[in-house]
Amino acid sequence: MNTQLLFFWTKKALKYLVLTLLLLILIVTASIPIARWIKPNDLMPVKTADTLVIDNVHVIHVEQGLKTQELISYNQQLVIQNGKFVAINPAGTVAPITNKWVDAKGAFAVPGLFDMHVHIYERKYLALNLAYGVTSVRAMNGQPENLRWKRELQQKEWLGSNLYLSSPIIDGEHTNALSVSVTTPEQARQQVRLAKQDGYDLVKAYGYLSAPVYQALVQEARKQGIPVAKHGPHPVKGSNWALLKQHQSLEHVEDIFQGPLNYQFDYQRLELVSQKIKQLGVPVVPTLETFDHLTQLSQFKQSFVETIDLEMINPLYFDIMSHYTVSRWLAADQKRTNYLIKENQFLRDIVKSLHQHQVTLLVGSDAGTNYTISGVSTHNEMRLLNEAGLSNLDVLRAATINAAQTLEIESRSGSIKVGKTADLVIVKENPLADIGHLKSPYAVVKSGQWLTELQLEQLKQSAKNTQSYYWSVIKLLESQISRQFGR
């Protein structure tokens, strides 16, 4: 009798399991087309005035080679038309008929900030970056949905940071749900062609690829005219440094410690590695913030978590990170924590060495990893670079003109000059005296649209209205399906 009963319930359970799976397939199939166009209804609209005049403002210049007395033009007037600077005059100059005139009352204007290494899991992350003066980001693990968001931004459907987008991460045998496994040279060439065809701005390659595969990837990228950024500022195993020349950038100084230094706190070896990177002429994105973040998770545990506005994090990725990364650091014992603290300090010494060797450095926070928050993490990264030995001006250049040059858009972005796009951060205190002043903008200008402190706060509050867990799962499935069955 018990055996019959067990068989009955087993059969019934299997029946419901099959029905549930079928229902799930139907839901996913029906929902993916909806996921292609649905977007939040509280995104801020684009409302660029025909003419904006910002009077009584001190303009900070970030171009290289300027003398100290040339870094700030005091008491200026910025005239902006159709999203571009058309004149920079002395304050009080008779301005053209304008839709909006603002008295900045001696505030300081700097170019809009770039974060050159982020992970974007929903549109609100781009709005949140903007709230902190980060007017451009480079997302380093692009997905099909990110391409849609980029098109929406270009078509001025809503207000957010400019989005420069890498391909999905091209990795070796060991991949995750958001990366692509590539094990042969032909697969590498195919992925580069797909990245170019789909409209990504660059190819993102991990360092776990074999030497022949990486060489094929680089050669195809040069043939297709699409840049490459590599995870880790060193060659893949079996390759050589020369293959890294002409890359757009090299990511994570943590990988210098783990790679060429072989986990050794070796300052003599670091000197040699810094020289090799300098000879490449390729910018480095240190991403100090992400390792500092995990160190604080390990050191201060839940008390550090309580300082983070977790409402800003997409719920699906919060769940993933809580279980697969953050839990590891929260469980770290004292021995492990002490080692992380030592390594965290050494990473700053690596940055200092690169800076002393005049390697071009870029601000990149790796926001989106662990519990790091868009915009907030950018300013944390700038502070850490400052603590590593970069001057306030050096940090500001790393976040503006250096990034524009790296992306080859210096002719239209990265500094305050007539003819360039009017992306600005307005702050009440001089950031050349304290880079931390940039964290609390008095106003942000995005392509000529003036955003007040109140509007910036509205962007932050809106960012807490994240996409639902359900829609995030749907979009993740979409990425998987597009990768497996074509775009």
- Taking alpha carbons only, the member of 356, 372, 409, 193 closest to residue 294 is 372
The pLDDT value given to residue 476 = 77
Number of helices and strands (H, E) in the chain?
17, 16
pLDDT at 29 over 70: no
Strands 443-446 and 449-451: antiparallel
72 located within any domain: no
> Confidence band (pLDDT; 50, 70, 90) for 485?
low
The pLDDT value given to residue 39 = 77
The single-letter DSSP state of residue 287 is -
H/E stretch holding 285: strand 284-285
Place of tokens 């500001």: 396
The pLDDT value given to residue 18 = 54
* One domain, residues 28 and 160: no
Sign for the pseudo-dihedral over CA of 168, 171, 176, 180? positive
**Of 419, 441, 473, which closes a domain?**
419
* One domain, residues 18 and 122: no
Average pLDDT, the chain: 91
* One domain, residues 254 and 137: yes
* One domain, residues 136 and 269: yes
380 located within any domain: yes
Calculate the alpha carbon distances from 251 to 183, 231, 285, 288, 365 in Å: 22, 5, 5, 11, 11
The pLDDT value given to residue 40 = 85
- Whether the CB-CB separation of 44 and 159 falls below 8 Å is answered with yes
**42 CB burial (10 A radius; 0-12, 13-18, 19+):** middle
Chain segment 356-405, per-residue pLDDT in tens: 999 999 999 999 999 999 999 999 999 999 999 999 999 999 999 999 99
The pLDDT value given to residue 8 = 46
Report the predicted TM-score, pTM, of the whole model to 2 decimal places. 0.92
Listed in sequence order, the residues at least 6 apart from 292 whose beta carbon sits closer than 8 Å to its beta carbon are 344, 380, 384
Q: Which of the residue ranges 37-51, 183-197, 225-239, 290-304 would you say has the lowest mean pLDDT?
A: 37-51
**Of 399, 419, 439, which closes a domain?**
419
The pLDDT value given to residue 174 = 73
Listed in sequence order, the residues at least 6 apart from 208 whose beta carbon sits closer than 8 Å to its beta carbon are 171, 172, 173, 174, 236
pLDDT at 305 over 60: yes
* One domain, residues 258 and 377: yes
Strands 162-165 and 100-111: unpaired
55 located within any domain: no
228 located within any domain: no
Listed in sequence order, the residues at least 6 apart from 151 whose beta carbon sits closer than 8 Å to its beta carbon are none
The single-letter DSSP state of residue 179 is E
Highest mean pLDDT pick, 9-18, 260-269, 459-468:
260-269
Strands 443-446 and 424-427: antiparallel
58 located within any domain: no
* One domain, residues 279 and 377: yes
Mean pLDDT of 74-97: 93
The single-letter DSSP state of residue 167 is P
**Of 404, 419, 434, which closes a domain?**
419
> Confidence band (pLDDT; 50, 70, 90) for 147?
very high
* One domain, residues 8 and 133: no
The Cα angle at residue 121 between residues 117 and 126, in degrees rounded to 5: 65
> Confidence band (pLDDT; 50, 70, 90) for 48?
confident
* One domain, residues 269 and 123: yes
- Phi/psi at 334 (nearest 5 deg)? -65, -35
The pLDDT value given to residue 479 = 73
DSSP string of 66-135? --GGGSEEEEEEEEEETTEEEEEEETTPPPPS-SEEEEEEEEEEEEPEEEEEE---SHHHHHHHHHTTEE
Q: Which of the residue ranges 34-48, 142-156, 240-254 would you say has the lowest mean pLDDT?
A: 34-48
304 located within any domain: yes
The pLDDT value given to residue 13 = 58
Our count of domains for the chain comes to 2
pLDDT at 5 over 50: no
- Using a pLDDT cut of 90, give the percent of the chain over it: 80
Chain segment 99-112, per-residue pLDDT in tens: 789 999 999 999 99
* One domain, residues 143 and 262: yes
Domain membership of residue 149 as a residue range: 112-166+248-419
* One domain, residues 28 and 126: no
Q: How many Cβ atoms from other residues are within 10 Å of residue 433's Cβ?
A: 10
* One domain, residues 151 and 281: yes
435 located within any domain: no
Chain segment 235-263, per-residue pLDDT in tens: 999 999 999 999 999 999 999 999 999 99
Residue 278 sits in a domain whose CATH number is 3.20.20.140
The pLDDT value given to residue 27 = 54
Q: Which of the residue ranges 60-74, 257-271, 442-456 would you say has the lowest mean pLDDT?
A: 60-74
* One domain, residues 23 and 155: no
